[in-house]
């Protein structure tokens, strides 16, 4: 039996670049009238929209509407307890998993005392899902993510034609038979669709433990500078990166403006961020298949993008 005071947990998963963080920010900004706690378990730092941040206190970021967020530092169970022990504990917790994790496995911890498991939501990039699912390196992982879903979000439908959309829908319905599929653009949907989900958890919710750890197939590197960068030169450098670097995300500071940058496969976007103040720091996270990330080469390429009149500081 689950206590009426148990905190419900919704797990959000999906392969790299599917739109998890966009969905997460949309839920936080939506009209849900709940105190939401957020845990981010990813290669990069907490990617909460700056417009939603009220203050930062150590590992916890205070958000609008009484919500709170922190990254998963080590044990996920301890991070859940940290949120539950806040002066005003959350009324619902969202866990954003790494793009190369099995979200159903992460959701196992929702059965801990004091928490109630809800939907495992898996986002899908309509443009790339068929190729990803058939990829010899990541196909098994992608299909496993789909199979563990209670809700599937077929995202970025504006980027595909009717034939591609039909192929994507056919794939996800085969891999997750009977699961509701929501189609959308920019991960834009009523947050209550996820927060008020009351379906039946699959009998296999507690996944069998195996030695298969998807995270070991990937590695990441963070490049940081406090100096001003040349935005056109830096974005050109990102476009020209080795295709083995399958994901780039971060924030670029240029002439007093922060820009959010995302590259997934051959598709890249650079958009201005509207925040109260410029962060005055450029941070980029690079994700690649294991043993294919040349850190010294990344340093060389992106150090050359620092403006000549700025003092260099990177890590």
Give SS3 for 10: strand
Q: How far apart are CA 54 and CA 66, in angstroms?
A: 9
Chain segment 153-163, per-residue pLDDT in tens: 999 999 999 99
Instruction: Please determine, for residue 208, whether its predicted confidence score (pLDDT) is greater than 50.
Output: no
Domain 7-212, CATH number (from 3.40.50.1000, 3.40.50.300, 3.40.50.720, 3.40.50.150): 3.40.50.300
DSSP 206-273: SPPP-S--GGGGEEEEEEEESS-B-HHHHHHHHHTS-TTEEEEEEEEEETTEEEEEEEETTEEEEEE-
Bridge partners, 283 (sequence order): 224, 251
Query: How far, in whole angstroms, is CA 192 from its chain's centroid?
Result: 19
Chain segment 239-286, per-residue pLDDT in tens: 999 888 888 888 887 777 788 888 887 788 888 876 544 556 788 888
Instruction: Please determine, for residue 219, whether its predicted confidence score (pLDDT) is greater than 50.
Output: yes
**What dotted CATH number matches 217-303?**
3.30.1220.10
Q: Where are the domains of the chain?
A: 7-212, 217-303
Strand order in the sheet with 267-272: 218-225, 282-289, 245-254, 257-264, 267-272
pTM for this prediction: 0.75
Determine what percent of the chain is predicted with pLDDT higher than 90: 29
Give SS3 for 88: coil
Chain segment 258-270, per-residue pLDDT in tens: 888 888 877 888 8
The per-residue pLDDT for 315 is 38
Q: How far apart are CA 193 and CA 206, in angstroms?
A: 23
């Amino acid at each position: 039996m689950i206590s009426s005071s148990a905190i419900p947990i919704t797990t959000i998963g999906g392969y790299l670049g599917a739109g998890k963080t966009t969905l997460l920010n949309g839920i936080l900004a939506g009209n849900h009238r709940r105190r939401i706690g957020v845990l981010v378990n990813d290669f990069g730092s907490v990617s909460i929209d700056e417009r939603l941040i009220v203050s930062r206190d150590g590992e916890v970021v205070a958000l609008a509407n009484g919500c709170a967020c922190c990254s998963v530092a080590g044990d996920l169970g301890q991070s859940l307890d940290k949120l539950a022990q806040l002066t005003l504990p959350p009324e619902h917790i969202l866990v954003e998993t790494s793009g190369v994790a099995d979200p159903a496995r992460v959701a196992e911890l929702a059965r801990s005392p004091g928490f109630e498991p809800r939907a495992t939501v898996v986002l899908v990039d309509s443009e790339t899902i068929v190729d990803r699912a058939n990829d010899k390196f990541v196909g098994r992982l992608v299909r496993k993510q789909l199979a563990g879903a209670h809700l599937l979000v077929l995202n970025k439908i504006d980027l595909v034609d009717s034939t591609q959309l039909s192929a994507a829908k056919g794939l996800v319905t085969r891999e997750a038979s009977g699961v509701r599929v929501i189609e959308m653009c920019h991960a834009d949907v009523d947050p209550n669709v996820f927060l008020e989900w009351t379906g039946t958890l699959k009998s296999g919710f507690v996944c069998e433990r195996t030695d298969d750890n998807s995270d070991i197939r990937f590695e990441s590197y963070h490049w940081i500078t406090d100096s001003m960068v040349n935005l056109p030169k830096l974005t050109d450098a990102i476009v020209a990166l080795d295709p083995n670097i399958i994901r780039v995300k971060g924030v670029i500071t240029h002439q007093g403006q922060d820009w959010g940058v995302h590259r997934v496969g051959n598709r890249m976007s650079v958009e201005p961020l509207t925040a109260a103040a410029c962060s005055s720091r450029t941070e980029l996270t690079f994700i690649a298949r294991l043993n294919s990330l040349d850190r010294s080469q990344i340093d060389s390429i992106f150090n050359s993008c620092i403006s000549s009149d700025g003092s260099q500081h990177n890590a």
